[in-house]
Chain A
Amino acid sequence: MLNNKRLLFILPLTAFLLLSSFLLSGLFSEPRYEVSTTVDKPLPPFALPDVMEPNKIITQNDLLGEPLLLNVWGTWCVTCAIELPYLTSLRVDGIKIVGLYIEQDLDPDFGAKGLTEIQQDIFTTLSRLGNPYSFNIFDQQRDYSLDLGVTGAPETFLVDAQGIVRVHHVGDLNEMVWKNKFEPIYATLN
């Protein structure tokens, strides 16, 4: 009888405490986007110019043949500047990196830059922080970023030789992220 009473006291209390701690942790969790819809699917088709040579059109077929990193970036993006030196060291280690370049302002009425100005900015930034890119695809209208499910810069995709996306990483790519998230999968691709 006494045991039963104690149980009647303890059970609701534990249930209450469990529920409270669950709800409390919810208060501090960040409801951010973490699903990636592109992983294990082929890159969506595109035909976009090279930002440095606008007459050259690049398509998804130009990315086939060897595994590579597709890195979404812009000279205006602060975090991208932080990851550029590390990405450059990856290139030195023999990893192919292709840039998907996006601009912040699209509307010419609100300070959108001309192409020569963009090229100049890219040149200056890469000379200063290192150039990890084989070439840069210019996503002028940011339509292709939308197709890839990009939420902002920087984001990085690991694409295998057949053009299948294997990893989608939101945020900067540093040594820890490379070791934990990219390298194990990259190692199986060669």
Chain B
Amino acid sequence: MQRLIRIYMKALPTLIASGLLFAISVSIAAQEAVNQDNESDVATEKYEFESNAQRALFLELSQELRCPKCQNQNIADSNAMIAEDMKRKVHQLVQQGSDKNQVINFMKQRYGEFVHYKPPVNQITIWLYLIPAFFILLAAVVIASKKKTTLNKEIDEETLKRAEQALKDNE
């Protein structure tokens, strides 16, 4: 237990530094998200909605749908012709009463899985989640087995006795 505390004390500066870094990046990301929302509000000015729920759904979809022509931009952020067309279509579908899944499927039918920023979990993509988990497990096993061997060496009293005996004999 004491040894564990000592290890933690040693790592404390690193822990604090990484904690700070994490906090900073989270706040930057949050700020970014606020900025994005503001931009999207500008985008919704073009469109009229019957209800706030429809407006919210439109905003959500335009954040989640990816512009096929652009480099890593959602359709809310892009002014490309195709992004404008997709926004217009999303607005039209939402006005007609389509729910979120119906709109996403409409776009997937035309532009493939590429168009949605949340990839589905299937036989191929499952490995993206399994492989890192496997590596963590492997690392845990390796670390655990290493600890055991060092401990064994410490406790091996017979070796100690023999070593002491050998030292005495030498004297």
Contact = CB atoms under 8 A, between A and B. Distances in A.
B109 A152 contact: no
A147 B110 contact: yes
B86 A146 contact: yes
Contacts of A31: 71-72
Q: How large is the interface on B (under 10, 10 to 19, 20 to 34, 35 or more residues)?
A: 10 to 19
Contact of A146 (B72, B80, B85, B113): B85
A33 B68 CA distance: 5
Task: Give the interface SS of chain A, mostly helix, strand, loop or mixed.
Answer: loop
B120 to A, nearest CB: 14
A152 B111 contact: no
Given A151-B68, A151-B69, A152-B80, A33 B114 contact: yes
Interface in B45-86: 68-69, 71-72, 80-82, 85-86
B110 A152 contact: no
A171 to B, nearest CB: 11
B110 A142 contact: no
Contacts of A104: 81
Interface residues of A, number: 18
Nearest to B84: A106
Contacts of B100: none
A163 B72 CA distance: 34
A142 B88 CA distance: 10
Given A33-B111, A33-B114, A145 B85 contact: yes
A35 B114 contact: yes
Interface in A47-82: none
Contacts of B86: 146
Contacts of A124: none
B112 interface: yes
A32 interface: yes
Interface in A115-172: 142-143, 145-152
Contacts of B110: 37, 146-149
B71 A33 contact: no
8 contacts: A36-B112, A37-B112, A104-B81, A142-B81, A146-B110, A149-B112, A151-B68, A152-B80
Interface of B: 68-69, 71-72, 80-82, 85-86, 89, 109-114
Which 6 A-B pairs give the minimum distances between C-beta atoms?
Answer: A33-B68, A35-B112, A151-B69, A149-B110, A151-B68, A151-B82
